[in-house]
Amino acid sequence: MSVHASTNKWSFDASTVLQPSTAAAVTASAASADFVALDVLTSYWATGDIAQGLDVGVVIEVTAVAGTNPTAAFTVQVAPDSGAFSAPVTIGESLTATATGRQVIVIDRDDLVNALGANSTVGSLRVYATVGGTSPSFTYQAWVAPLPGL
C-alpha cells in the first residue's frame, strides 16, 4: 500500500489542529484546546505502508507573550483513550518558549508505539503547556504535520 498525499490530512486540516489560532491565551498550565485521535494518522503510519518509519512533528507557534519572566514548557502527551487523557504519557522532547516564534517537537513513531503499547493506533494526542512567571500569558496555535525525509 502506498501513501497518496490527496488521501491524507495535514497542516491546518481540522483533524490535525491541536490549538486553533482563535483559542484564548493560556494563563495557567493547561492542555491544548483540542486533541488528535490517533486513528487519523493510521493511513500515515499503517503497517506495511511505505511511510511507516516516518516521524511526525507537532508544530507550536507562539504568537503573543505577556507577563514578567513568562515561560511555557510545551510537551506532547498521548493516552490510550478517546480524549479523556485519564493516564497521559509524555513523549518527545519538551520545548520552552519565552518569546514569539515557531518550534517543532519531533515525535518518533517508535516512541509513540512504546508509549501506547499494544494499542498504538488508538488513543489521543495533545499538547500540554506548563506556564510559569508572574502573570504569564501565551497565545499559541499548534498542529500535527508530517516530517518527510526523516
Report which of residues 136 and 45 the model is more confident about: 136
What is the reported pLDDT for 61?
96
Q: Which residue has the higher pLDDT, 95 or 12?
A: 95
For residue 2, name the pLDDT band (cuts at 50, 70, 90): very low
Cell of 26: 493560556
- Return the CATH number of 5-147, one of 2.60.120, 2.70.98, 1.10.10, 1.10.860: 2.60.120
Helices (runs of H) and strands (runs of E) counted in the chain: 2, 7
Nearest-angstrom CA–CA distance, 57 and 35: 14
Model pLDDT for residues 77-112, shown as the tens digit of each residue: 998 888 889 889 999 899 999 999 999 999 887 788
pLDDT over 50 at 41, yes or no: yes
- Render pLDDT for 119-132 as a digit per residue (tens, 0 to 9): 666 688 999 999 99
Check whether 3 has a pLDDT greater than 50: no
Burial class (CB in 10 A: 0-12, 13-18, 19+), 46: middle
17-19 and 124-147: which strand pairing?
antiparallel
Percentage with pLDDT > 90 across the chain: 49
Q: What is the mean pLDDT of residues 46-57?
A: 57
Integer angstrom CA distances of residue 22 from 87, 109, 141: 28, 30, 8
